[in-house]
Amino acid sequence: MNPITRRNMLTATAAGGLLTAATAVSAQDGGSVPQPQRPGRGGTDPGPRNLMRDRQNPDLLVRLERGGWTRQVTVRELGISKNIAGVNMRLNAGGVRELHWHKAAEWAYMLYGSARITAIDAQGRNFVDDVGVGDLWYFPSGIPHSIQGLNPDGCEFLLVFDEGDFDEDNTFLISDWFKHVPNEVLAKNFGVPASLFGHTPDPSELYIFPAPVPGPLGSDKIPGATPVPESFSHRMMAQQPIKTKSGTVRITDTRVFPASKTIAAALVEVDPGGMRELHWHPNTDEWQYYVEGQARMGVFASSGQARTFDFLAGDVGYVPFAMGHYIENTGSTPLRGDSVGHYEGDTLVIDTVGVKTGRPFAMVDIYGTPYTEALHVVERYRLLDYEAAKEAQERGFKENRRLPHNDSGLDVDENYKGKGLQPQFTVEDEGVFTMPWSAMMTYRRAVGAWPEFVCSENRHEYYYNKDAEVPTADKPDF
């Protein structure tokens, strides 16, 4: 029997396969973190990751470019995957995946950050959109398209192609085509002087290359252009999940994403100790990408043939058509959100999605503003020198308000000349807000001790003369 899986690091889904095992991974702890970058090339890997494997194979299957990196798993790396191939790609802020097309259709799932995608169909109809974590796109075969990473930290995404022998290194690049057409022919085609094409870059200089971060989405929309009849993007996280006692699932097929003609997907979250029940698919193969956590899959191939496989974050699984299988979450920690942290210089960036809803006290502020499962929060923390921190805080006092002087821990210690802390966060939630919004605060060392106003030992609100409704538990969860 051919191997059903191979622990590489790649991609995505078809016919029900993008799996999230809801658990933490102990391999993330301790030690140096290898990054797929060299001077002037590559970029960070935001994770979640299988750091033990990455430390053993820091350069495994990674192609480093000036604007990011890419890696792939095809039938050459995973021999049993005859019908599906996958690519994992990282674009830095401003990084561009050059305008290109290919014979296979392309399906994508956004893992991190945000990107701008553009395309044009055979009738000249235009498409441009910005996508974030949990969003999908689908470009039919032969449709030219490009992708660009946006602020603050570019993007990482999963690409799935409906051909097992697809090769990301052999796509049709516009620069490659122009380089192999005489300048006189290009001049005749575009009605401009041939000299304008004398400096066409070599394809090796582009592919994934750095560029300025684009402006607002509207600036890239062509006035008067006819849009494509079916959107090439889809907000998967805005779908209402199917909830069971052991987790949730979102299924995206042509019923909810009409443009995606050849690839369907399921985002599955399995609670600790839970499992995706025994099942098989009567009409297609299943290709899995484990976003995070720890899982075990058993596969039955008939005639007494069966295999069991363990998976960690970034692993790929494959189940051929009609083979029975199940998937267990073998981890111990329930998923309560997916936060990925990394440093940009001296700034700590934390990107969070998957925040649990449907519980008491589910709000984004003290005024009770609700949120949905589409909530996406990016936090940025940095230390400021004394003068910059003082200037920013004084500006904040003018624009908002300043508390009366006291020693409660809320007043600034004017004698302290050290650094201040400046958190900045951006909130996106299409289910609640019409546009993203941001806020920033600057903190300096306070006078006196920082008080704990409400805790489990003292829950009484003196101004309402009642106990605060603080969530409690019979036993610690740590």
Active site residues: 97, 100, 102, 106, 145, 168
CB atoms inside a 10 Å sphere around CB 448: 12
Contact 146, 89 (CB under 8 A): no
CA distance 343 to 96: 22
CA distance 371 to 404: 33
256: tokens are: 């909810």
What is the sign of the dihedral through the CA atoms of 20, 21, 25 and 27?
negative
CA-nearest of 453, 452, 454, 447 to 468 is: 454
CA distance 376 to 133: 7
Whole-Å CA distances, 55 to 30, 60, 444: 11, 10, 39
CA distance 347 to 424: 10
Q: Encode burial over 108-124: b for 16+ CB neighbours within 10 A, e otherwise.
A: bbbbbbbbbbbbbbeee
Torsion of CA 185, 190, 194, 198, to 10 degrees: -90
